[in-house]
């Protein structure tokens, strides 16, 4: 059977190019330019593989992966990004993506990566695979972390969601609190951990395997 693929990218011109390259080999069942539409449509269409960009507004690829896998655990995700940073690769894999390739990939190699992800393989370029091995090869860290332990239970909940790429409004909806309360918790977490923004927070959480 032809593999059903769904495309998620907020750059419409790039999305059109990917669709054109893949349409003869795969059944492209749909596409989205934003996180909320992607989650809703993927849940409804249940494609075999979702090809998803990493950096988009409102939580990016992480929010799409987490939002879908909550109710559709059989859908497989392949991240496609301009970024080859260790933080992005590790964050996407922790969220549930089965692979990560960069947008410099050749069309044939991308098609092969999609088929491998559908078959259950994990797919990375050698450089990106090294990041994943480094992140998961070490011993399980101790549960004792003085910095993390100083946070309240609610602050820890907010930290995990923010570090996974969720927007404030999505965090508020998931925790059933107001956006203003989310902002207050984030400010408190940043102050306690002596960080300046949510990107530093994501890196901090990733290094401690909290995400």
Q: What's residue 135's pLDDT?
A: 63
Give me 7's structure tokens.
């495309």
Residue 102 three-state SS: strand
Q: What is the mean pLDDT of the chain?
A: 87
Length of the chain: 211
H helices of the chain, in order, are: 12-22, 35-45, 60-69, 86-95, 107-118, 126-137, 146-149, 153-163, 168-175, 179-193, 198-207
pTM: 0.68
Q: What string of DSSP letters covers 191-207?
A: HHHT--SHHHHHHHHHH
Summarize pLDDT for 18-48 with one digit per residue, the tens: 999 999 999 999 999 999 999 999 999 999 9
Summarize pLDDT for 104-156 with one digit per residue, the tens: 899 999 999 999 999 999 898 777 777 776 666 553 344 457 888 899 989 98
Element (H, E) at 101: strand 99-102
Question: Residue 205: which residues within 8 A CB-CB, separation 6 or more?
Answer: 159, 160, 163, 211
Q: What's residue 139's pLDDT?
A: 37
The mean per-residue pLDDT over the stretch 181-188 comes to 93
């Amino acid at each position: 059977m032809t593999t059903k693929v769904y495309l998620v990218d907020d750059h419409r011109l790039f999305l059109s190019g990917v669709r054109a390259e893949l349409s003869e080999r795969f059944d492209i069942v749909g596409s989205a330019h934003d996180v909320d539409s992607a989650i809703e449509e993927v849940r409804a269409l249940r494609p075999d593989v979702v090809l998803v960009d990493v950096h988009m507004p409102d939580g990016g690829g992480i929010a799409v992966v987490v939002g879908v896998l909550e109710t559709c655990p059989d859908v497989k995700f392949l991240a496609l990004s301009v970024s080859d940073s260790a933080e992005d690769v590790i964050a996407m894999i922790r969220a549930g993506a089965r692979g990560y390739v960069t947008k410099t990939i050749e069309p044939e190699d991308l098609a092969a990566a999609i088929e491998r992800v559908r078959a259950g393989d994990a797919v990375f370029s050698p450089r990106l695979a090294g990041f994943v091995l480094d992140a998961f090869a070490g011993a399980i860290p101790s549960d004792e972390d003085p910095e993390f332990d100083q946070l309240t239970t609610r602050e820890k909940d907010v930290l995990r969601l923010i570090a996974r790429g969720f927007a404030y409004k999505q965090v508020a909806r998931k925790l059933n609190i107001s956006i203003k309360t989310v902002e207050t918790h984030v400010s408190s977490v940043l102050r306690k951990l002596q960080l300046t923004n949510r990107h530093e927070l994501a890196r901090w959480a990733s290094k401690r395997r909290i995400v």
